[in-house]
């Protein structure tokens, strides 16, 4: 049975309760969720580079989150259409953290959007491939993804989006939390160690601008 986000948080809290230095150190499971994300997303980046050496620039499926429909906005005055990426994604080379964007309205066009970088737009505009061979492209600026065309929603509808990385904000507490089976204990232990290191820091109760952990 798939293990849920809540289950992983409970394992972390249970280990912390049985560990030393637990006096007056209270952690809510909501504090655990972001650390789970951080550990798993770090593993996703490592997995990408390991695969790159052997298979090419790919990342295993369990590190990818899919949003089946993300709203596209068509701007006026010929300005490019855009969508807001539903979560932050892993910082991989050449925007590989955006695994795929594809149109939901299939007609003659049934290909994924070409993921580009902003400088690629200028390069393609001055070449024979400037029209991307009639394919739709786009590039991210922060969490906004701009398309290389206007009226995209009218032509292609909204988009499906796949991002490398896990955002627990988009996963219900009782929903499966996608961690590779062979990495479950590693993830739990890494999160436990992070909180243990944090609780081991001396508490600076004097507001004098000096951090007690620095020995000042």
Give the CA distances from residue 113 to residues 11, 23, 127, 143, in Å, rounded to whole numbers and listed in that order: 40, 53, 19, 16
The answer to whether residue 62 is domain-embedded is yes
> pLDDT-based confidence at 157, cuts 50/70/90?
very high
Provide, rounded to the nearest whole percent, the portion of the chain with pLDDT above 70: 73
The answer to whether residue 87 is domain-embedded is yes
Kindly report the three-state secondary structure assignment for every residue of 94-143.
HHCCEEEEEECCCCCCCCCCEECCHHHHHHHHCCCCCCHHHCCEEEEECC
The answer to whether residue 198 is domain-embedded is no
Contact of 176 with 108, CB cutoff 8 Å: no
Q: Is the dihedral of CA 14, 17, 21, 24 positive or negative?
A: positive
> pLDDT-based confidence at 100, cuts 50/70/90?
very high
5-51 tens-digit pLDDT: 899 999 999 888 876 655 455 788 888 988 888 888 888 777 766 66
The predicted model scores a pTM of: 0.65
What's the pLDDT score for residue 216?
41
How far apart CA 146 and CA 117 sit, in angstroms, is: 10
The answer to whether residue 89 is domain-embedded is yes
Q: Assess whether pLDDT exceeds 70 at residue 207.
A: no
Helix 5-17 to helix 29-54 angle, to the nearest 10 degrees?
Answer: 110
Token output for 30:
């909501």
The answer to whether residue 205 is domain-embedded is no
Tell me the HSE value of 28 on the side-chain side, using a 13 A CA sphere. 2
Domain total of the chain: 1
41-68 tens-digit pLDDT: 888 777 766 665 555 557 777 778 888 9
The answer to whether residue 122 is domain-embedded is yes
User: Please, where are the H alpha helices in the chain?
Assistant: 5-17, 29-54, 118-125, 152-156, 184-200
Q: Which domain holds residue 171?
A: 5-191
């Amino acid at each position: 049975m798939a293990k849920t986000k809540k289950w992983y948080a409970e394992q972390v809290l249970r280990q912390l309760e049985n560990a030393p230095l637990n006096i007056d150190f209270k952690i809510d499971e909501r504090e655990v969720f972001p650390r789970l994300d951080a550990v798993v997303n770090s593993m996703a980046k490592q997995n990408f580079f390991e695969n790159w050496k052997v298979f090419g620039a790919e990342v295993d499926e369990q590190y990818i989150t899919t949003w089946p429909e993300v709203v596209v906005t068509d701007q006026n005055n010929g300005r490019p259409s855009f969508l807001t990426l539903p979560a932050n994604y892993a910082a991989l080379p050449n925007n590989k953290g955006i695994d795929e964007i594809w149109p939901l309205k299939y007609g003659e066009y049934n290909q994924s959007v070409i993921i580009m970088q902003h400088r690629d737009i200028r390069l393609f505009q001055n070449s024979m491939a400037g029209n991307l061979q009639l394919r739709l492209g786009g590039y991210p600026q922060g969490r906004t993804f701009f398309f290389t065309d206007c009226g995209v929603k009218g032509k292609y509808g909204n988009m499906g989006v796949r991002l490398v990385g896990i955002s627990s904000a988009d996963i219900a507490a009782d929903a499966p939390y996608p961690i590779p089976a062979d990495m479950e204990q590693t993830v739990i232990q890494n999160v436990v160690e992070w909180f243990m290191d944090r609780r081991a820091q001396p508490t600076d109760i004097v507001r004098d601008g000096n951090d007690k952990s620095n020995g000042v």
